[in-house]
Amino acid sequence: MPLGTWFKAGTSAATLVLAMAGAATAAPAPAGASSAAQAAAVTLRYDDSRAGGWEAAISAGVASWNANVSNVRLVEAAPGSVAEIVIVATTGWPQATLGPVRPGRQVRVELGSQAVDQGYDKTRIAAHELGHSLGLPDTKPGPCSQLMSGSSAGTACTNATPNATERSRVQSAYASAIAALVPADGRILIDAP
């Protein structure tokens, strides 16, 4: 076959491959799925292996955040793997490192039994302390409707759901790849009344 024919055949094949690739990438996303949102979500692993007695509260707190924000996803770390959020049970007041924590970095959450002994709700405590890890400071004093009002809402408050402002702040903190370069604040916030 002459050289010119090879070039034509090669060019035609390359054009066909490029056209097919363009058609494949131009296909619409499945209904109900936002591929941009899924691609932008930051996954943070938590290790609660040293938080005995708090497992149900941690699961409920994680579920609350995962149901209310889409730019970040909290998942339990596999045994023996490194986690961004290390959760431990203590005898003192709950406290946490102020984030937002980023993949490959690490913050600590201490779920203190002193607050439970005084009548505060475990699930609210867990969700509140996770909120610190995600970059939210305390909003004391504050109403029960504000998760980050913490102990100032009183012992009768069991709300473990972030409000619209809290959700928005976490969404913004994890909104882009550029935000991933911003380090966590690093301050330890102690949630005693």
Residue with tokens 């102990």: 151
What is the rounded distance in angstroms from the CA atom of residue 191 to the CA atom of residue 193?
Answer: 6
**Radius of gyration for the chain, computed over Cα atoms and rounded to the nearest angstrom:** 23
- Tens-binned pLDDT, residue by residue, of the chain (193 aa): 454 443 344 444 433 333 333 333 333 333 444 444 445 689 999 999 999 999 999 999 999 999 999 999 999 999 999 999 999 999 999 999 999 999 999 999 999 999 999 999 999 999 999 999 999 999 999 999 999 999 999 999 999 999 999 999 999 999 875 444 455 556 665 666 6
Which residues, 6+ apart, have CB-to-CB distance to 157 below 8 Å? 121, 124, 144, 149
Contact 103, 71 (CB under 8 A): no
Q: What are phi and psi of 95, to 5 degrees?
A: -160, 160
- For residue 177 the two structure tokens come to 């790849």
What is the rounded distance in angstroms from the CA atom of residue 92 to the CA atom of residue 125?
Answer: 13
H or E segment and range at residue 109: strand 107-112
- For residue 30 the two structure tokens come to 């499945």
Q: How many Cβ atoms from other residues are within 10 Å of residue 162's Cβ?
A: 26
Q: What pLDDT, on a 0 to 100 scale, did the predictor assign at position 24?
A: 33
Q: What pLDDT, on a 0 to 100 scale, did the predictor assign at position 176?
A: 73
Q: How many Cβ atoms from other residues are within 10 Å of residue 18's Cβ?
A: 10
Q: What amino acid positions are annotated as catalytic residues? A: 129
